[in-house]
């Protein structure tokens, strides 16, 4: 007799209170088969090959743990590049799903969340190994952008599942990582807020690295600024006190000077939306020089090179692993080429770029610019492609901030478009100005509310 045992498509089974991922479950199935074979009750037994499916209908989660209805604590989702004790950190990869072992301890960035007793509701989907900026994932399925599901807009990556989880209301706060825009790009695509933190502010132990020496950061995503501040308080002790202090020191937008950065190739509708949001808030706005805009563009190019090269330096072993997607392998090999040709010059220019930003922040409090230069593209019915990844990487306006190490807030602002209600404004601040950035973002939200109330009268 032949017996075939099936693994749940959700990727989890509940076995005496113990959560198991797909790979662990398959090993258990094979172990059961061995026992049954030894008894002579069956002559052959097989477990099906691992066929991953997201743990939620919108594919936001790789593993989902339903929250308790009786627990009022915030629901926190965690990008599956970040270790959660007892679960395999899959990185959205077939290879790690099949070969990874459960983490023996949480990543360091989860310490305060555990202390505060938040509800961890799951591990979120992502572009494989954090290398995809479209947010697409061929193994677990691509998270569905909730802003217009039928239109099939990319969710943005690599923290695609984290953005979708908060946009759809399945989590109050989600943690993501940002190496070249991987929090801000999906925030922009899905109409939520995301904060790229100052490099070095949040510990990276227990996070699968891409560029740990220069670019990698951990930060929160949420639907609005108050919840984003709660998320930041889970990452940095005393943050809410600093946020409230920032609000007390500069309660009105007229007390804040914003430098407006215009970038070549930006969709005019997006520039118009950013300008309207700044005006509605009531900031003092000054236009930044063309000379600084040229330096920003150079930093964008250099940031791309550093991100690609250091991804290869850190993760090049995955380029030869079975089960790693061919596009991911191609991205790593492109990083090798960047390392051999452009990396050293890009790193050499980094201090000058950091100095240029410091000079601007002597004149303005923040810099405002679009998060994406164009509205998000759509995913074809053929799924992820090299052209799609390249297109999203070209329209991001984020990696220059990573190269400098500064914090940046991406937040939704209304845009005139038939298919999408919002685009994304990016506010960049000096190092460790996260509390001030969120206060400025809160003033922008208040400006929307005031404009909406006036328009409805």
**Is the per-residue pLDDT at 360 higher than 70?**
yes
pLDDT per residue as tens digits for the range 207-255: 999 999 999 999 999 999 999 999 999 999 999 999 999 999 999 999 9
- Helix (H), strand (E) at residue 19: strand 18-20
Q: Decide if pLDDT at 41 tops 60.
A: no
β-strand partners of 193: 222
pLDDT of residue 450: 77
Please report how many Cα atoms fall inside a 13 Å half-sphere around the Cα of residue 202, on the Cβ side: 32
The 173-178 sheet, strands edge to edge: 61-64, 119-124, 75-79, 173-178, 217-222, 193-196, 408-414, 422-428, 366-370, 257-260, 284-287
Backbone φ, ψ for residue 82 (5° rounding) = -110, 125
Q: Are 260 and 369 in contact (CB under 8 A)?
A: yes
- Residue 206 backbone class (left: φ over 0; alpha: ψ -120 to 50; beta: rest): left
Two tokens, residue 267: 């969709």
Q: Where are the beta strands (DSSP E) in 135-215?
A: 173-178, 193-196
Active site residue 79: yes
Q: Are strands 13-15 and 18-20 parallel, antiparallel or unpaired?
A: antiparallel
Give the residue from 57, 249, 80, 297 showing the smallest Cα distance to 176: 80
Residue 23 has pLDDT above 60, yes or no: no
Total count of residues recorded for the chain: 457
- Orientation of helix 225-233 relative to helix 239-249, angle to 10°: 140
Query: What pLDDT, on the 0 to 100 scale, is given for residue 36?
Result: 33
Question: Per residue in 59-118, pLDDT tens?
Answer: 999 999 999 989 999 999 999 999 999 999 999 999 999 999 999 999 999 999 999 999
Supply 81's token pair. Answer: 């590049």
The CATH class that applies to domain 52-456 reads alpha beta
Mean pLDDT of the chain: 89
Rounded Cα distance, 384 and 143, in Å: 12
Q: At residue 42, does pLDDT exceed 60?
A: no
Distance CA 74, CA 342 (A): 44
Domain with CATH 3.90.1300.10 in the chain: 52-456
182 is catalytic: yes
Catalytic residue among 56, 162, 182, 311: 182
Whether the CB-CB separation of 379 and 388 falls below 8 Å is answered with: yes
| pLDDT at res. 55 | 75
Residue 448: its pLDDT value, please?
A: 85
Q: How far is CA 433 from each of CA 56, 109, 361, 438, rounded to the nearest angstrom?
A: 35, 19, 11, 9
Task: Place 54 in a pLDDT band, splitting at 50, 70 and 90.
Answer: low
Phi and psi of 103, rounded to 5°? Answer: -65, 140
Q: pLDDT tens digits for 139-168?
A: 999 999 999 999 999 999 999 999 999 999
Percent of the chain surpassing pLDDT 70: 87
Question: DSSP of 340-371, one letter per residue?
Answer: HHTHHHHHHHHHHHHHHHHHHTTT-SEEEEES
DSSP letter, residue 86: T
The catalytically annotated residue of 24, 79, 123, 223 is 79
Beta bridge partners of 257: 284
Judged by DSSP in three states, 190 sits in helix
Cα–Cα distance for residue pair 344/331, rounded to 1 Å: 19
Torsions phi, psi for 423 (to 5 deg)? -120, -165
In this structure, are residues 153 and 191 in contact, taking their beta carbons and an 8 Å threshold? Answer: no
158, 159, 211, 311: the active-site residue: 158
Check residues 368 and 2 and name the one with the higher pLDDT: 368
């Amino acid at each position: 007799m032949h017996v075939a045992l099936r693994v749940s498509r959700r990727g989890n089974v509940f076995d005496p209170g113990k959560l198991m991922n797909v790979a662990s479950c398959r090993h258990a199935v094979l172990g059961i088969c061995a026992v049954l074979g030894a008894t002579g009750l069956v002559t052959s037994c097989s477990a099906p090959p691992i066929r991953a499916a997201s743990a939620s209908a919108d594919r936001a989660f790789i593993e989902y743990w339903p929250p308790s209805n009786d627990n009022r604590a915030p629901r926190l989702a965690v990008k599956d590049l970040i270790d959660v004790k007892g679960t395999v950190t899959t990185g959205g990869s077939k290879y790690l799903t099949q070969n990874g072992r459960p983490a023996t301890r949480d990543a360091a960035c989860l310490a305060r969340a555990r202390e505060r007793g938040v509800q961890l509701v799951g591990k979120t989907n992502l572009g494989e190994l954090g290398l995809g900026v479209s947010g697409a994932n061929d193994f677990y399925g691509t998270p569905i952008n909730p802003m217009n599901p039928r239109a099939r807009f990319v969710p943005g990556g690599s923290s695609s599942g984290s953005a979708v989880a908060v946009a759809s209301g399945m989590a109050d706060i989600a943690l993501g990582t940002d190496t070249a825009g991987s929090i801000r790009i999906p925030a922009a695509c899905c109409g939520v807020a995301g904060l790229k933190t100052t490099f070095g502010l949040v510990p990276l132990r227990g996070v699968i690295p891409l560029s740990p020496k220069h670019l990698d950061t951990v930060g929160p995503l949420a639907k609005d600024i108050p919840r984003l501040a709660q998320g930041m308080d889970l990452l940095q002790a005393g943050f809410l006190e600093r946020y409230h202090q920032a609000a007390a020191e500069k309660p009105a937008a007229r007390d804040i000077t914003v430098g407006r950065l215009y970038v070549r190739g930006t969709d005019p509708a997006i520039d118009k939306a950013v300008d309207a949001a700044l005006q509605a808030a009531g900031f003092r706005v000054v236009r930044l020089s063309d000379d600084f805009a040229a330096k920003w563009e150079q930093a964008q190019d250099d940031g791309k090179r550093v991100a690609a090269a250091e991804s290869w330096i850190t993760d090049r072993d995955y380029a030869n692993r079975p089960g790693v997607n061919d596009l991911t392998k191609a991205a790593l090999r492109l990083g090798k080429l960047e390392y051999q040709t452009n990396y050293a010059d890009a790193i050499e220019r980094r201090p000058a770029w950091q100095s240029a930003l410091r000079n601007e922040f002597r004149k303005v409090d923040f810099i405002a610019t679009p998060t994406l230069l164009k509205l998000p593209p759509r995913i074809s019915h053929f799924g992820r492609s090299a052209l799609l990844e390249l297109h999203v990487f070209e329209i991001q306006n984020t990696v220059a901030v990573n190269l400098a190490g500064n914090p940046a807030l991406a937040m939704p602002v209304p845009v005139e478009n038939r298919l999408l209600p919002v685009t994304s404004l990016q506010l960049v601040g000096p190092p460790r100005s996260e509390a001030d950035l969120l206060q400025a973002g809160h003033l922008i939200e208040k400006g929307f509310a005031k404009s909406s109330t006036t328009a409805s009268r």
